Structure 1
Amino acid sequence: MSIILSSKNKDQLLFEGFRYRRDRSVWQCIKDKYKGRARFDENIYEAYKNHTCQAPNPEEIEKAVYNYEIRKKAENSHDPPRLIIQEARLKLSSDAAADNDIPKEPTSFSEIVIPLKFQLTISNQQFLLYDNDDNQNRLLIFASRDQLDLLNGCEVWHCDGTFAVVPKLFEQTYSIHGLIREKTLPLIYSLLPNKKEETYETLFRVVQQHVQRVPRYITIDFEKGAENA
């Protein structure tokens, strides 16, 4: 038995192979159409209404914990995302890992297919801003509407690329940060296939299409292609 937070930051009870959400003073099976209930009584949890959905599913519970641990560590750790995910996957059983809905790591740009669920934020805002679908030089840009609105209000931008934390096939992760209340926040993320000037030009052109206000100051790293773009 354990209690975790869902992707919407709500309590979920994991008990005897089922997942429950809070329903006032009791817990209700997360599958809305079904009647399974659990309650806390005299220091123990017990199911008191039978489930009509399906048999207990330990692998589903494992994956719920897996997703929760990734979110929790991402909020409290400075580790690279890839390392956080790899450490969480080590705790999965082989069956749960095989059935996990995270796409397999591609071996070529043509194999990159981004499922709809990974194109959206947890509040269903579009997050995949741009995909050039180029099987030779794939370029992906990510930002939600809220992030773009924040960047639109920033007078200072900081653009920075890293080669240390980047998925295979891509050459660098490039981000655009905005200065908000004396804090620099990452608001646009992109995966670049190379350091060519035309790649940076495409990136900044897409940003200009979605952010109307021109900042007063822009700081960049020392990549010549980015500086020229």
Structure 2
Amino acid sequence: MKKTLNGSNFLIKNSTIGCDRILIFTIVENLKQLEISLFWIMDEMFKTVPTIFKQLYTIHGCVRNENLCIMPLIYVLMTSKSEQCYRTNEEFSLLIRLIPALAFLPFNEISSVFNELKENMTVKANEIMNWFENYYVYRII
């Protein structure tokens, strides 16, 4: 599951935070689609995941084919239910949930708001913040 059939990277992040593991799956083309999508839809699923994981989080975007359709573009598998994690650190939860909201800011404000979020994050979030910084905030696709 690390590569697509044509050899593109599919597993783009394999992160461990404490005892929790996060796997992020997508391809560059999906990130491009997300960048131009009119809107994003995020969804959490707890019952339809492999037994070693507790949660599947998906980010969907509006994709233009012959028609407009909503497609899942990023898949995130987590070994803990975020609800349990969020109860232990509500401030961390709030900050993490603000990251996808960057997509709704004017382009010229994204960098400064992201930097402000990053300054307020705990060290535990460095890996995920670096990923967003490299693949979303400062990367031109």
User: What's the C-alpha RMSD, in Å, of the aligned pairs?
Assistant: 2.7
Q: What does residue 172 of structure 1 align with?
A: 55
Distance 1:119 1:133, change over 3 A: same
TM-score relative to the length of structure 2: 0.58
The structure carrying a bigger helix percent of its residues is: 2
Q: Is 1:162 matched up with 2:45? A: yes
What code does the residue aligned with 2:72 have? P
Runs of 4+ in 1 over 6 A off after TM superposition: none
Distance 1:161 1:204, change over 3 A: farther
Aligned length: 96
Q: Deviations over 1:15-65 (max 9, x none)?
A: xxxxxxxxxxxxxxxxxxxxxxxxxxxxxxxxxxxxxxxxxxxxxxxxxxx
1:89-100 alignment to 2 at 5 Å? none
Give the CA deviation at 1:211.
2.7
Where do 5+ consecutive residues of structure 2 fail to align?
A: 87-91, 97-124
1:79-228 alignment to 2 at 5 Å? 118-134=1-17, 136-181=19-64, 182-192=68-78, 193-195=80-82, 196-197=85-86, 198=92, 201=96, 205=129, 206-207=131-132, 209-212=134-137
* Local SS of the residue matching 2:40: strand
Tell me which of the two structures has the higher relative contact order, counting C-alpha pairs closer than 8 angstroms and 6 or more residues apart: 2
Identical counterparts, % of pairs:
27
> Aligned partners of 1:170 and 1:176: how far apart in 2?
18
1:34-113 alignment to 2 at 5 Å? none
Where do 5+ consecutive residues of structure 1 fail to align?
A: 1-117, 214-229
Q: What does residue 89 of structure 2 align with?
A: none
* Local SS of the residue matching 1:211: helix
Does the 8 Å contact 2:2/2:11 carry over to 1?
yes
Give the CA deviation at 1:176.
0.2
**Structure of higher CA gyration radius:** 1
